[in-house]
C-alpha cells in the first residue's frame, strides 16, 4: 500500500531523492527533482532494474505522452509483480507530475526493496529493522531506540550503529548527548565517506523538528542495515568461492599433467612408428641379423616403460574424471588427438607396425638365406661350365682338316660328332645357369649385375659354340667323301666315355651341392635320395670298367697292328686317367656327403628340442594368463569385506602376478634361441611369443584398472559420505541383476535394480520420462549399458549435496554489492590474493548497459566453472 505508516509529506523529498541517487549512480545517472525526472518513466524503470537486479520490458524512447504512460505502466506492473498492492497510484498521475502520488510510489519502492526483506528473529520490515537497531545499540549508554522519529534526534543512535560495526571510524567515548548537532553530522559524514551511504537527512531539520519524519529516518537507517548485514554474507561468499576455486585449480593441474604425459607418449609413438615402418633391406645376412637384434632391444628395453606410462595415463584419466564428477564439474575433455581412445588407436598402430616389422625381418632373413644359396649354386655351375668350355672355340676353329689324310679326316668327323653329343649334354646345365640367374634377379639379389654379366657371357659363348660347331660340321661333311674308314673302337670309346664323363661330372656337382632344410622330414628325404644314388655306384663301376676295356682293346690293336695313332684318341679328349681321377673324386665325395647329412640331421634334432622346450612352457603360461584374467573379472564383481579389504586383496593379487614375470622372461629367452636357430614354425603349440606378450600386457593393465576402480569407489564413498553398508547394498543389487556377470546392466536390468532400491518409477509416460532422464545421466553416450562406476556415481549423487553454478553466482553477487558486475578491487578485498588474481585473469569484461570501466562479468565465469569452457 502507498501509505502504510501515515500520510506522506514533502519533508521526505530530500531523503527519497538521495536514496534514489544512491542506486542510480551505479547506472551512471542521477535525478534532481523526483516528480519531474520520473515523469517519462525511463529513470524509474532504470531504478527498478538496479535495485532488483532484473531486466524490465524494453522502454519506449519516444517523447509523446503515450510513450511516457507506457513506460510508467511497465514500472508499476513490475512493482505489482513483486506482490505490492498499489492504491490510487496510476501512470497518468506520475506523468502529470503529481508530487503526492510520486512520493507515495517511491515510498512503496523503498518499503518493498529496502525494508520488506529485512528479517530479524521472525520479525520483518519495519518491526524487524527496529529490532535490529535495538539489538545493535543495546550495549551503548544514553541510546534507547523505540521508534523511527524522536529516538534518533540526539544522533547517538546513528553513531552507535557505526561504532558497533566499524569502531575504528568513530571515537564513541568523546560524544555527548547534549551535542546532537555534532553527533548527527559526525554520523552522516562518516557514513557518506566510509560506508558509501549518501546524506539523506539534514541535522538542523532533525533537531529543529519536534518529531522527525519517520519515513525519511526509516529509509536512511535501512541503508545502515544493508551496509552492515552484507559483511557477513561477503565472508561466507568469499569462503565458498575459495573452496570452488581451490578444487578448480587442482583439477586444472591434473589436466595439465595428463596433457603432458599424453603428448610425451604420442610423440614417442610418432617417432617409433617410422622406424618400424622402414623396410629398407640390407644386402648381407649379418646386417639383417643386426636389425633383428636392434628390434629385440626395443622389445626388451624401450617398449616396457612406455607400456607402464600408457597404463598410468589411463589411471590418471579415470581418477581425474572421478574427482570432476565428485565436485559437480563437467567431464574432462582432452585436447584434440589426446583422448584415451586416440592414444589406444596410436598404440594399436604402433603394435601393428611392430608386428609387420618383425614379419618383414624374418622374411628378409629367409630371402637372404635363399639368395646366398642360389648365388653359390650359380657360381659352382658357372665354374664347371666355364671349365668345360675352355679351349672349345679354338678347337672348333682349327683348320686341320685341310692337310689331313683320309683317315685323319674320318677321325676328325667322328670326333666332331662326339663333340656335338657332348655339347647337347651340356645344354641342360646352361639352361640351369640361366634359370638361377633369372631367380636371383626376381629376388632382387644385390650383386645381380655381376651375375647377369657372367650369365650373358656364358650364353653368348654358348651361341658362338653352337655356330662354330655347325660351321665345322658342314666343312667336315664336304670332305667326308675323301675320307676312309675310321677306327670304330676309338669312336665307341668316345661315345661311351662322354656320357659317363658327363654323369660323373653331374654326380660330383650333386655331391657338392649345398642344401637348406627346416625339418627332420626334409633331411631324411635328402638322406634317402643319397642312399639311392649310392646304390647305383656298382652299375656305374661296371660301365667304367667296360669303357676302360675298350681303351685297353684299342691299345692292344695298336700294339698288335702297329697303327700310328700318335698315342691319342682322335675322337675325344677324354682319357682313362681322367675317368679314373673323376671316379676317385666321386668315391671321395660320397662319405663327405654322408657326414654333411649326419650333421644336418643332428641340427634339425636340436631345433625340434628347442620347439618342444618353448611349447611346453607356452602351453602352461598361456592358459595361466587366461585363468588370471577370468579370476580378476570375478573379483571385480564379487563382494568380500570392505573396499579397503578388496583393495588389499587385489594388490596382493597384483604382487603374485608380478612375481610370475621371471617365467615370462625365461620364455623370452627360449624364443630368442628359436629365432637365432632360424626356426620359423612350431607345430607343438598354438601360442606364439606375440600372443604371450599381448596377454601379459593385458593382464597387467586389467589388474591395474581394477585396482583403480576400487580406489575411485573409495574416493566416491569418502567424498559423498556413503557408508560401507550402502556400498554393499548397491553392489549386491547390481550383481543380483547382472545375470550374465558381464559387469554391466542393460536398460531393463538397471530399471529393475532402481525399483529394488526404492526408486518410484511408474509404468506410465511420466515414469518413462523420469527413467529416460536417469539413463541420460548414467549412459550419456547411449550405449544401452550401465557400468558399476556409473551406477555408484548416480547413487552417490542422489544422496549428496554439491555446489552449483547458481550458488557461486549468488556468492559473487553478494561480494559485488548486488551489482551485475564486480570490480578487481572488490575481488582483491574479499578473496585471498592468489585466488583473486585467478578470477581477475579469467573473468571476461562486463558489457551490460550498466557497465563501468574495469567491470568484470562474474556470471559467465560462474557458469563456465560448471560447463564447457577453457578454464
Kindly report the CATH number that applies to the domain delimited by 394-594: 1.20.58.60
Q: 809-865: which CATH number, 3.40.50.2000, 3.40.640.10, 3.60.10.10, 1.10.238.10?
A: 1.10.238.10
**3-class SS of residue 537:** helix
pLDDT category at 54 given cuts 50, 70, 90 is confident
pLDDT digits (tens, 9 = 90+) for 680-712: 788 888 888 888 889 999 888 988 888 887 888
> Can you give the residue ranges of every domain in the chain?
7-117, 248-383, 394-594, 607-715, 724-786, 809-865
Q: Phi and psi dihedrals of 245, rounded to 5?
A: -70, -35
3-state per-residue secondary structure call for 95-151:
HCCCHHHHHHHHHHHHHHHHHCCCEECCEEHHHHHHHHHHHHHCCCCCCCCCCCCHH
CA gap 37, 39 in Å, rounded: 6
pLDDT above 70: percentage of residues in the chain:
91
CA gap 584, 595 in Å, rounded: 18
* 860 C-beta neighbours (distance < 10 Å), count: 14
**Most confident segment among 31-40, 278-287, 513-522, 589-598:** 589-598
CA gap 6, 267 in Å, rounded: 80
Picking from 552, 400, 378, 377, the residue whose alpha carbon sits closest to that of residue 479 is 400
CATH superfamily membership of 7-117: Calponin-like domain (1.10.418.10)
pLDDT above 90: percentage of residues in the chain:
13
Q: In sequence order, what are the residues at sequence separation of 6 or more whose Cβ sits closer than 8 angstroms to the Cβ of residue 178?
A: none
CA gap 151, 173 in Å, rounded: 19
pLDDT category at 563 given cuts 50, 70, 90 is very low
Q: What is the pLDDT of residue 180?
A: 93
Who wins on pLDDT, 685 or 5? 685
Quick one: residue 247, left, alpha or beta (phi over 0 = left, psi -120 to 50 = alpha)?
A: alpha
Side-chain-side CA neighbours of 427 within 13 Å: the count stands at 9
CA gap 689, 507 in Å, rounded: 44
Relative to beta strand 119-120, strand 785-787 is unpaired
Alpha-carbon 479 to chain mean position: 92
Relative to beta strand 744-746, strand 123-124 is unpaired
Picking from 91, 15, 82, the residue whose alpha carbon sits closest to that of residue 48 is 82
CA gap 802, 329 in Å, rounded: 10
As a dihedral over the C-alpha atoms of residue 811, residue 816, residue 821, residue 827, rounded to 10 degrees, the angle is -90
Q: Which residues of 678-717 are buried (b: 16+ CB within 10 A; e: fewer)?
A: ebeebeebebebeebbebbbebbbbbbebbbbbbbbebbb
Question: What residue has cell string 570452488?
Answer: 244
Q: In sequence order, what are the residues at sequence separation of 6 or more whose Cβ sits closer than 8 angstroms to the Cβ of residue 618?
A: 667, 685, 687, 688, 689, 692
- The conformation of residue 487, written as its DSSP 8-state character, comes to -
Picking from 45, 38, 51, 9, the residue whose alpha carbon sits closest to that of residue 102 is 38
Q: What is the pLDDT of residue 374?
A: 81
pLDDT at 124 over 70: no
Q: In sequence order, what are the residues at sequence separation of 6 or more whose Cβ sits closer than 8 angstroms to the Cβ of residue 409?
A: 401, 476, 479, 480, 482, 483
pLDDT digits (tens, 9 = 90+) for 9-27: 555 777 888 888 877 887 8
Q: Under a CB-based contact definition with an 8 Å cutoff, are residues 55 and 24 in contact?
A: no
Cα–Cα distances (Å) from 429 to 144, 380, 465, 506, 590, in that order, read: 134, 11, 15, 9, 22
Question: Would the CA dihedral through 33, 39, 43, 45 be positive or negative?
Answer: positive
First to last CA, the chain: 49
- The conformation of residue 5, written as its DSSP 8-state character, comes to T
pLDDT at 189 over 90: yes
pLDDT digits (tens, 9 = 90+) for 823-851: 999 899 888 999 899 999 999 999 988 89
CA gap 860, 848 in Å, rounded: 12
CATH superfamily membership of 724-786: EF-hand (1.10.238.10)
CA gap 494, 387 in Å, rounded: 19
Q: 607-715: which CATH number, 1.10.490.10, 3.40.50.2000, 3.30.300.130, 1.20.58.60?
A: 1.20.58.60
Q: What is the mean pLDDT of the chain?
A: 82
pLDDT digits (tens, 9 = 90+) for 89-109: 888 888 888 877 887 888 888
Give the global pTM: 0.37
Q: Phi and psi dihedrals of 665, rounded to 5?
A: -65, -40
Q: What is the pLDDT of residue 871?
A: 44
CA gap 357, 651 in Å, rounded: 36
Fold match, 7-117 / 809-865: no
Longest dimension (CA), the chain: 183
Q: Compute the average pLDDT of residues 725-743.
A: 76
pLDDT digits (tens, 9 = 90+) for 396-441: 888 776 666 667 777 888 888 898 898 888 888 888 888 988 887 8
* Residues 486, 491, 494: CA angle, nearest 5 degrees: 150
pLDDT at 288 over 80: no
CATH topology of domain 248-383: Methane Monooxygenase Hydroxylase; Chain G, domain 1 (1.20.58)
Q: In sequence order, what are the residues at sequence separation of 6 or more whose Cβ sits closer than 8 angstroms to the Cβ of residue 341?
A: none
Q: Under a CB-based contact definition with an 8 Å cutoff, are residues 671 and 610 in contact?
A: no
Picking from 190, 123, 141, 140, the residue whose alpha carbon sits closest to that of residue 132 is 123
Q: What is the pLDDT of residue 155?
A: 92
Amino acid at each position: 500500500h502507498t501509505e502504510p505508516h501515515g500520510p506522506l509529506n514533502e519533508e521526505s523529498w530530500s531523503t527519497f531523492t538521495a536514496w534514489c541517487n544512491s542506486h542510480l549512480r551505479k547506472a551512471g545517472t542521477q535525478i534532481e527533482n523526483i516528480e519531474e525526472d520520473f515523469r517519462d518513466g525511463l529513470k524509474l524503470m532504470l531504478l527498478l532494474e538496479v535495485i532488483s537486479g532484473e531486466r524490465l520490458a524494453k522502454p519506449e524512447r519516444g517523447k509523446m505522452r503515450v510513450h511516457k504512460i507506457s513506460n510508467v505502466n511497465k514500472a508499476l506492473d513490475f512493482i505489482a509483480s513483486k506482490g505490492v498492492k498499489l492504491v490510487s497510484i496510476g501512470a497518468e498521475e506520475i506523468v502529470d507530475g503529481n508530487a503526492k502520488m510520486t512520493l507515495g510510489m517511491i515510498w512503496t519502492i523503498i518499503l518493498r526493496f529496502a525494508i520488506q526483506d529485512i528479517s530479524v528473529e521472525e520479525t520483518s520490515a519495519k518491526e524487524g529493522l527496529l529490532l535490529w537497531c535495538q539489538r545493535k545499540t543495546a550495549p551503548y549508554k544514553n541510546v534507547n531506540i523505540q521508534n523511527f522519529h524522536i529516538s534518533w534526534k540526539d544522533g547517538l543512535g546513528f553513531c552507535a550503529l557505526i561504532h558497533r560495526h566499524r569502531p575504528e571510524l568513530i571515537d564513541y567515548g568523546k560524544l555527548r548527548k547534549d551535542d546532537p548537532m555534532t553527533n548527527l553530522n559526525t554520523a552522516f559524514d562518516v557514513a557518506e565517506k566510509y560506508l558509501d551511504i549518501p546524506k539523506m537527512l539534514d541535522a538542523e531539520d532533525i533537531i529543529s523538528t519536534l518529531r522527525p519524519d519517520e519515513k525519511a529516518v526509516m529509509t536512511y537507517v535501512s541503508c545502515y542495515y544493508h551496509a552492515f548485514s552484507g559483511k557477513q554474507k561477503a565472508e561466507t561468499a568469499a569462503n565458498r568461492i575459495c573452496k570452488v576455486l581451490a578444487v578448480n585449480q587442482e583439477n586444472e593441474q591434473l589436466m595439465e599433467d595428463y596433457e603432458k604425459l599424453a603428448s610425451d607418449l604420442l610423440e614417442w609413438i610418432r617417432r617409433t612408428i617410422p622406424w618400424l615402418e622402414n623396410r629398407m633391406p640390407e644386402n648381407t645376412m649379418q646386417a639383417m641379423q643386426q636389425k633383428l637384434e636392434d628390434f629385440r632391444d626395443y622389445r626388451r628395453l624401450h617398449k616396457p616403460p612406455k607400456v607402464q606410462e600408457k597404463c598410468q595415463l589411463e589411471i590418471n584419466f579415470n581418477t581425474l574424471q572421478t574427482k570432476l564428477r565428485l565436485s559437480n564439474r563437467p567431464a574432462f575433455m582432452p585436447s584434440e588427438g589426446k583422448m584415451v581412445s586416440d592414444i589406444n588407436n596410436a598404440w594399436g598402430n604402433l603394435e601393428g607396425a611392430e608386428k609387420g616389422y618383425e614379419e618383414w625381418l624374418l622374411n628378409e632373413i629367409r630371402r637372404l638365406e635363399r639368395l646366398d644359396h642360389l648365388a653359390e649354386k650359380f657360381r659352382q655351375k658357372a665354374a664347371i661350365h666355364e671349365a668345360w668350355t675352355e679351349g672349345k672355340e679354338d678347337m672348333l676353329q682349327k683348320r686341320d682338316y685341310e692337310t689331313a689324310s683320309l683317315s685323319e679326316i674320318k677321325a676328325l668327323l667322328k670326333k666332331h660328332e662326339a663333340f656335338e653329343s657332348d655339347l647337347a649334354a651340356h645344354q641342360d646345365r646352361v639352361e640351369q645357369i640361366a634359370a638361377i640367374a633369372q631367380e636371383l634377379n626376381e629376388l632382387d639379389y644385390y650383386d645381380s649385375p655381376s651375375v647377369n654379366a657372367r650369365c650373358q657371357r656364358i650364353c653368348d659363348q654358348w651361341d658362338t659354340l653352337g655356330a662354330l660347331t655347325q660351321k665345322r660340321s658342314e666343312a667336315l661333311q664336304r670332305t667326308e667323301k675323301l675320307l676312309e674308314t675310321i677306327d670304330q673302337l676309338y669312336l665307341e670309346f668316345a661315345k661311351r666315355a662322354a656320357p659317363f664323363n658327363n654323369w660323373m661330372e653331374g654326380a660330383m656337382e650333386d655331391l657338392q651341392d649345398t642344401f637348406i632344410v627346416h625339418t627332420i622330414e626334409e633331411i631324411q628325404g635328402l638322406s634317402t635320395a643319397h642312399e639311392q644314388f649310392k646304390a647305383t655306384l656298382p652299375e656305374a663301376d661296371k660301365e667304367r670298367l667296360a669303357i676302360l676295356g675298350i681303351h685297353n682293346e684299342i691299345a692292344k690293336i695298336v700294339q698288335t697292328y702297329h697303327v700310328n695313332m700318335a698315342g691319342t684318341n682322335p675322337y675325344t679328349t677324354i682319357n682313362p686317367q681322367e675317368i679314373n681321377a673323376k671316379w676317385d673324386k666321386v668315391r671321395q665325395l660320397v662319405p663327405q656327403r654322408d657326414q654333411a647329412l649326419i650333421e644336418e640331421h643332428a641340427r634339425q634334432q636340436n631345433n625340434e628340442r628347442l620347439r618342444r622346450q618353448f611349447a611346453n612352457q607356452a602351453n602352461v603360461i598361456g592358459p595361466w594368463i587366461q585363468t588370471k584374467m577370468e579370476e580378476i573379472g570375478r573379483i571385480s564383481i564379487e563382494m568380500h569385506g570392505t573396499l579397503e579389504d578388496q583393495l588389499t586383496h587385489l594388490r596382493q593379487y597384483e604382487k603374485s602376478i608380478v612375481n610370475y614375470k621371471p617365467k615370462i622372461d625365461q620364455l623370452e629367452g627360449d624364443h630368442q634361441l628359436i629365432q637365432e636357430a632360424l626356426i620359423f614354425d612350431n607345430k607343438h603349440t598354438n601360442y606364439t611369443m606375440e600372443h604371450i606378450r599381448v596377454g601379459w600386457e593385458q593382464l597387467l593393465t586389467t589388474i591395474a584398472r581394477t585396482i583403480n576402480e576400487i580406489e575411485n569407489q573409495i574416493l566416491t564413498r569418502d567424498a559423498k559420505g556413503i557408508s560401507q553398508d550402502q556400498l554393499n547394498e548397491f553392489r549386491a543389487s547390481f550383481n543380483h541383476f547382472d545375470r550374465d556377470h558381464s559387469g554391466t546392466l542393460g536398460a531393463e536390468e538397471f530399471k529393475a535394480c532402481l525399483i529394488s532400491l526404492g526408486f518410484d518409477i511408474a509404468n506410465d509416460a511420466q515414469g518413462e520420462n523420469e527413467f529416460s532422464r536417469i539413463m541420460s545421466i548414467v549412459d550419456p553416450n547411449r550405449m544401452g549399458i550401465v557400468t558399476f562406476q556409473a551406477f555408484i556415481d548416480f547413487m552417490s549423487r542422489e544422496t549428496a549435496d554439491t555446489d552449483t553454478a547458481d550458488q557461486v553466482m549468488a556468492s559473487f553477487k553478494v561480494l559485488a554489492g548486488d551489482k551485475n558486475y564486480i570490480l578487481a578491487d572488490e575481488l582483491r578485498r574479499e578473496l585471498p590474493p592468489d585466488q583473486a588474481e585467478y578470477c581477475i585473469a579469467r573473468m571476461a569484461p562486463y558489457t551490460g548497459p550498466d557497465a563501468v570501466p574495469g567491470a568484470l562479468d562474474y556470471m559467465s565465469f560462474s557458469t563456465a566453472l560448471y560447463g564447457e569452457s577453457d578454464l
